[in-house]
């Protein structure tokens, strides 16, 4: 099941950049949809459950014919760990933390997986340490934090324990980024792996909800909520298929930069859908973020070790 790594020089091509932008924008578009659903009574875990379940079912129904998945214990393990690290754990922790420190500080956690992913990849020998990339990713993270926390009033000491717990969110996402690349099943395609991860994530969220006695919260009533769930399911199916194509053709670190697209796109959607406005500090953070992205993805003479999943099997 585990793929062997090989030394290769990877620079993002036009297709990879377009996938990064497209998937990031689609994920950002989910934010106003989730806000609309919460405003009319849906709970966060219920939304996460239906998002994953609906997207997974659509991908199964729209999957390629003639390329059946050969189910095996290692494949179910891949689905389970992928769903746990990319969907169940980050969502569950974020919903716990947001109730205690607010949405602004919680949102900053999603700026951190890029550095964590890069650090894990370097430690495992999947990439070599690059000063230019390290500086670029650091600037990108700083830009995201600046955007999402424009008020430099400081962190309330009472929020610190919850913020430390929230650090498990980017760590989980980073572990997932590296795991999905290093353990990409031999011969598997993005069309096969995306629905498996989503459905596994939905099952794990369902278990959490049932164990905590909140199964009734999963019930959806009203045409407005069902419409939002349907639209969200379509967006989830499209974005996660693109997500796995991006994972297959690039490195875990490049994939982790989705957060750098989601943050400014989320700002724009906030303006369009909710009439939100932002000051100069926020747009200064956007500029810093873009500078970081350019540095992190610019041409370099250094060679790094990437996983050979671009040609699995």
How far from 248 is each of 165, 177, 238, CA to CA, in Å?
A: 31, 11, 16
- Residue-level length of the chain: 313
The C-alpha atoms of residue 240 and residue 201 are separated, in whole angstroms, by 12
pLDDT grade, residue 68 (50/70/90)? low
Task: Give tens-digit pLDDT for 17-29.
Answer: 899 999 988 888 8
DSSP summary character for residue 86: I
- Which H helix or E strand runs over 275? none
Residues 92-148 have pLDDT tens digits of 787 777 667 665 556 667 777 887 888 888 888 887 878 887 888 888 778 777 766
pLDDT confidence tier of residue 156, bands split at 50, 70 and 90: low
CA distances from 293 to 36, 51, 114, 286, 300 (A): 31, 29, 11, 11, 14
Q: Is the pLDDT of residue 6 over 90?
A: no
**Residue-wise pLDDT tens digits, 235-266:** 999 999 999 999 888 888 888 888 778 777 77
pLDDT digits (tens, 9 = 90+) for 182-229: 899 888 888 889 999 999 999 999 998 898 888 888 988 889 999 999
pTM: 0.78
């Amino acid at each position: 099941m585990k793929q062997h790594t090989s030394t290769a020089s990877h620079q993002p091509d036009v297709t990879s950049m377009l996938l990064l932008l497209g998937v990031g924008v689609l994920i950002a578009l989910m934010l106003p949809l989730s806000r609309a659903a919460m405003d009319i009574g849906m709970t966060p875990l219920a939304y996460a459950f239906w998002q994953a379940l609906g997207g997974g079912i659509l991908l199964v129904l729209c999957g390629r014919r003639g390329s059946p998945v050969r189910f095996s214990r290692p494949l179910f393990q891949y689905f389970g760990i992928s769903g746990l690290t990319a969907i169940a754990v980050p969502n569950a922790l974020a919903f716990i933390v947001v109730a205690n420190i607010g949405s602004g500080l919680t949102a900053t956690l999603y700026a951190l997986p890029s550095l964590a992913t890069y650090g894990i990849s370097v430690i495992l020998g999947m990439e070599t340490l690059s000063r230019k990339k390290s500086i670029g990713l650091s600037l990108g993270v700083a830009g995201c934090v600046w955007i999402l926390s424009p008020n430099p009033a400081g962190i309330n000491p009472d929020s610190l324990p919850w913020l430390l717990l929230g650090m498990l969110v980017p760590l989980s996402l980073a572990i997932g980024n590296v795991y999905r690349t290093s353990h990409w099943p031999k011969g598997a395609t993005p069309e096969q792996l995306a629905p498996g991860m989503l459905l596994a994530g939905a099952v794990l969220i369902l278990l959490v909800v049932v164990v905590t006695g909140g199964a009734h919260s999963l019930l959806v009533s009203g045409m407005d909520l069902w419409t939002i769930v349907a639209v969200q399911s379509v967006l989830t199916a499209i974005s996660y298929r693109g997500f796995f194509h991006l994972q297959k053709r690039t490195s875990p670190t490049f994939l982790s930069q989705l957060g750098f697209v989601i943050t400014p796109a989320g700002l724009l959607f906030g303006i369009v859908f909710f009439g939100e406005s932002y000051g100069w500090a926020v747009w200064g953070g956007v500029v810093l973020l873009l500078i970081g992205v350019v540095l992190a993805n610019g041409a370099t003479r250094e060679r790094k070790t990437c996983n050979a999943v671009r040609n699995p099997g």
